[in-house]
Amino acid sequence: MKRTALILTCLMILAACRGKDGSPPIASINGREIRRVEFERFLALKMGEFSASDMPDALHSEMLDEYIIRQLVLDDAARAGVKLGDNELEQAIQTNPQMKTAAASSDTREELTHDLIVEKYYRQIVLRDVRVSPEEIQNYIAQNEARMVEKPGFYVREIRVRSREEAEALRREAVEGNKDFASLARQHSDAPNSEQGGLARYEEANLPDFLEKAIEPLKPGDISPVIQSTFGYHLFMLERRLQPRAEGERRPADERRAQLREEFLSRRNQQAVDEAHQRLVSSARIEIKDPSLGFTYTGRLRHN
């Protein structure tokens, strides 16, 4: 009888450790446990059909770091009173076909809600006090204008996402649905240039060889096939090619200045976001529970 009672007690303790959903804790943030099933829902939304079992440890670790930082942002957003209005999620779903498909289940709706809260938090809290003076902009232009001499190269727009399925769907929207590539980049791309509609300028040999070869046969307006790299899945649309010019010849001054101004503002905004992340991470208690992960953690949050 005592043996039976002991077994039952052990089973109850094990069940409590694994949680009601049977999912073990894989990390804790300020004493709150993060369970594997929560992280897997996040991965499913971000990575699409890219199986977790096929993910290298480095990417798995990167995604766990991203998930933990997002949880810290959501916690701070709640403290600051940032939340979605009654119709904000539905409005976002209606204007975004990819989101509309993803929002079919309650789990993905919750993940999408979290993403929208994070975006709102950045706009209302992190970036609200970002200011740049005309003098700062002028100094940045003066320091960088020399590198704007056009050499052989090209302007392209890029979309980068986490899953091949999403990349293929976005390509169909752009090619068959005639959707504006720049708008798709702003809505879906996780590349640093997404706010600029994915626009980037590259000189010859600036890109890895396999990416440059994918862009090389494109004509202006053409869209590349889906290309995989260690950063995700890419689509490129060629805007125009840059031809060599005589030494000292420049593009129109207003075009150079506008591009450098946008570049400076984008860098300042990203700096503010990075500083906010560092502040949240440095003040948090984060524990990685390696035995439950299912992969070897190589991320940067272990020694927080």
Provide the CATH number for the domain around residue 38.
1.10.4030.10
What is residue 46's predicted lDDT score, i.e. its pLDDT? Answer: 74
Given the structure tokens 């626009």, which residue do they identify? Answer: 199
Q: Do 117 and 182 share a domain, yes or no?
A: no
Our CA angle for 51, 52, 58, nearest 5°, is 125
Q: Give residue-wise pLDDT tens across range 22-34.
A: 689 999 999 999 9
- 3-state class (DSSP) for residue 201: strand
What is residue 170's predicted lDDT score, i.e. its pLDDT? Answer: 93
What is residue 205's predicted lDDT score, i.e. its pLDDT? Answer: 67
What is residue 304's predicted lDDT score, i.e. its pLDDT? Answer: 61
Parent domain of 221: 150-249
Which residue, among 219, 266, 269, 260, has the nearest Cα to 241 in the 3D structure? 219
Total domains present in the chain: 2
What is residue 8's predicted lDDT score, i.e. its pLDDT? Answer: 37
Would strands 32-35 and 25-29 be described as parallel, antiparallel, or unpaired?
antiparallel
Provide the CATH number for the domain around residue 242.
3.10.50.40
Q: Give residue-wise pLDDT tens across range 210-250.
A: 888 888 889 999 999 998 887 889 999 999 887 665 444 45
End-to-end CA distance of the chain: 47
Q: Is residue 261 part of a domain?
A: no
Q: Is residue 143 part of a domain?
A: no
Which ranges of the chain have pLDDT less than 50?
A: 1-20, 246-249
Q: Is residue 304 part of a domain?
A: no
